[in-house]
Each structure stands twice: as structure tokens, then as C-alpha cells.
Amino acid sequence: MDDLVEILGRERDLPDEGLRALLTDPDTTEPLAVAARQVSRAIFGGRVWLRALIEWSNVCRNDCLYCGIRRSNGRIRRYSLSREEILSCCERAWATGLRTFVLQGGENPAAALRLADTVAAIRSAWPEAAITLSLGELPRETLRLLREAGADRYLLRHETATPAHYASLHPAEMRLQTRLDCLQDLRDLGFQTGMGMMVGSPGQTAEHLIADIRLMQAFRPEMIGIGPFIPQRDTPFADRAPGSAETTLRLYSILRLIFPSANIPSTTALSTLLPGGRIAGLRAGANVIMPNFTPAPYREAYTLYDGKNAPRVESAVQIHNLLKDLSAAGFEVTSSRGDYKRYV
């Protein structure tokens, strides 16, 4: 196994059977993490980029079978932050030293179009900040407006690269190809573009994860978001088993070795499943943390999966603890935008 880790580190690729072995063998978790950490250190110098996550709206037109803010969930209170509320989140994040604002929300094209004014307001108030959007699939013209308003980056997980698996996670009207077209639009419009998938989503096999890796090797995203699937009680997948934290950690390491300079967040889903998961993710090769700056009263309504808001470690009061944990674990937090830089 150590040979496989070594080859992956050197070649930044492996044939399918090598990836399958690394993904499925628990004995590889530690050697993979050691190798991935070395690459992260070489590229990011032990620095961690912080992104302020602002969950601006949970109104969504989609009905993804895994997601708690799916359209047909009638048990959550729907909300959208006003422009003033969004700006005050940015204000708080900026004062804390964060230099990237991430506006994330359910897929709602009409609202996304109106959000362009807010993006422009953020851009003019904080010219040096990076603005990341995560608003689902949008028409190319809307994306263009948002880009012109000042957005720099866009996160749109592809969720799975296998069409049949995609169809088992989504309602019939959603198509993998539409999402891939949207990713291409984002790239064409000059966004730093993020893709990714859940680990252990219902029906997922190692073959699906290998296909995900192959798709990302073809697209070369600047950012990669992954986290374990966690069931949400009001969804059709309420009774499905969660994904494995260990597999998620191995995948962080594999992705770091294949995509040395990609910005890879250690996600909330991992820390929901695994105490100390946030640091564990960084130690496995991730280089980004996204503290939650959504105002407290709205947080419980942004319930993608169960337990998401339980630790409350990301409230503004506790960001201090996060910074302490990071420095205790040997990571340096910087007030840099942390843009993607190509590894040479």
C-alpha cells in the first residue's frame, strides 16, 4: 500500500485498481494523510484559508432526495436574508479578518438575478475581498451578470459523475449534463470553479468515486468540495446510512495528491460526523475552513442534513476557539484572499 501512496504522490495519478485499493483499505488512511500533508505544506506553507459562509436563503426549486432544504420539505421555515443582513454578515466577517465571502443558497434563479445588486454592493464596499457564490444551476446570462457584478468564484458540486447514480439521487427533471454545462459556463465566464460530491451517498460505490476523480481530472476545478453524506429526517433518504468519515479523509488525501494546488475545504459535514473532524480534514490534506457567518436565528432552517448546526462551533463568539484550535494544531491563519494558484 505504501508503494501505491508513493506512486500517487509522484505521478499524481494511478490506474483505477490503485485508486480502488486506496479508497477502500483502512490501512491507507494514515500513510495517505502523511503524504498529502507534505504536499499541502509545500504548497500552502501550513497556512489555512478561511472563507465566511453566509447561507443567504434556503428557498430552493429543486427536490434532491438527500437534501433537507428540498422543495417538498414543508417542515422548515423558508427565509432569505435582506441585502442589509448580508452586508452586515460581510462586515462581521471582514472585522474578524476573513477575506472571502461565500454566499450560498438554494437554487432560485429569480432570486439569484436580484442578488447581483447585493454582489455589486459587496464588491464596492470591500474591493479587496473575494466573493464566492454557490447558488445552484443558473442560466449563463445570470452567471454573466453575477460575474460582472464582481463575483470571483462559484461552487457547484457535480454530486456524482455517473448518470445512473445521478438519476437515483435526483428527481427526473434534473440532469447531470445540465450541471456539467453549467460548470463549463462558469469556467468560460472566468470564475474560479468548484465541483465535488458527497462521500457515501446512497448507492455510491468505489467505482462511482473513481468516476468522480476522472471527471475532475478532465475539468481541473480550482476548488473541490467533498463531505460525507448525512441523512436528514425529512427526506426520502432519512433512514440511509451516513457516509464514512474515514473514507472522506482518505479521499481528501487522494485529491490533494492528484490536485496539489486545489483549494479543498475541510467541510462541516465531516466535523458533524467526526469530533475534531475539521482539524482531521486539514491533517489529511485540506487547506480551507469555512466558518459559518449566517445569523443565528436562520441557521437551524438551513438544515441540509441532521446535526449540522449542533456543535455551534462556528458562531461568531466561538470563532476565537477555532483560531486557537488551528494554531494549536500547527496551522497558520492568514488574512489573504487565498486565490487559486497553479502549481508548477
Q: How far is the CB of 335 from ligand 5AD (least distance, A)?
A: 26
Among residues 227, 260, 281, 338, the one that binds ligand 5AD under rule CB under 6 A: 227
Report the residue number, 39 or 245, with the smaller CB distance to ligand 5AD. 245
Cell for 261? 494546488
Distance CA 315, CA 295 (A): 8
Q: Please state the φ and ψ torsions of residue 104, each to the nearest 5 degrees.
A: -115, 145
- Residue 9 contacts ligand 5AD per CB under 6 A: no
Site membership for ligand 5AD, residue 66 (CB under 6 A): yes
Q: In the set 93, 119, 198, 255, which binds ligand 5AD (CB under 6 A)?
A: 198
Among 4, 145, 304, 323, interactor with ligand 5AD by CB under 6 A: 304
- Least Å distance between CB 54 and ligand 5AD? 13
Q: Verify binding: residue 232, ligand 5AD, rule CB under 6 A.
A: yes
Q: Does 305 bind ligand 5AD (CB under 6 A)?
A: yes
Task: Name the burial class of residue 43, with classes exposed (0-12), middle (13-18) and buried (19+) by CB atoms within 10 angstroms of its CB.
Answer: middle
For residue 301, the one-letter residue type is: A
Contact letters for ligand 5AD, residues 101-140 (x by CB under 6 A): ----------------------------------------
Q: Return the number of the residue (198 or 319) whose C-beta is nearest ligand 5AD.
A: 198
Residue 264 binding ligand 5AD, by CB under 6 A: no
Query: Does 269 interact with ligand 5AD (rule: CB under 6 A)?
Result: yes
Contact 223, 340 (CB under 8 A): yes
Report how far apart the first and last C-alpha atoms of the chain are (Å, whole number): 27
Q: How far is the CB of 331 from ligand 5AD (least distance, A)?
A: 24
- C-alpha span between 332 and 101 (Å, rounded): 19
Tell me which residue of 218, 138, 114 sits closest to 186, measured CA to CA. Answer: 138
Q: What is the DSSP string of 113-145?
A: HHHHHHHHHHHHH-TTSEEEEE--S--HHHHHH
Q: Judged by CB under 6 A, does residue 270 bind ligand 5AD?
A: no
- Secondary structure (3-state) at 46: coil
Q: Which C-beta is closer to ligand 5AD: that of 49 or that of 66?
A: 66
Task: Give the up-direction half-sphere exposure of residue 242: CA atoms within 13 A in the CB hemisphere.
Answer: 19
Least spacing, CB of residue 227 vs ligand 5AD, in Å: 6
SS (H, E, C) 283-324: HCCCCEECCECCCHHHHCCCCCCCCCCCCCCCCHHHHHHHHH
Told to check if 67 binds ligand 5AD by CB under 6 A, we report yes
Which span (37-45, 168-176, 226-234, 245-253) binds ligand 5AD, by CB under 6 A?
A: 226-234
Long-range CB pairs of 179-184 (<8 Å, 24+ gap) are 179/137, 182/137, 182/138, 182/140, 182/143, 182/156, 183/156, 183/158, 183/219, 183/221
Residue 164 CB, nearest approach to ligand 5AD (Å): 18
Give the interface with ligand 5AD as residue ranges (CB under 6 A): 66-67, 157, 159, 198, 227, 229-230, 232, 269, 304-305
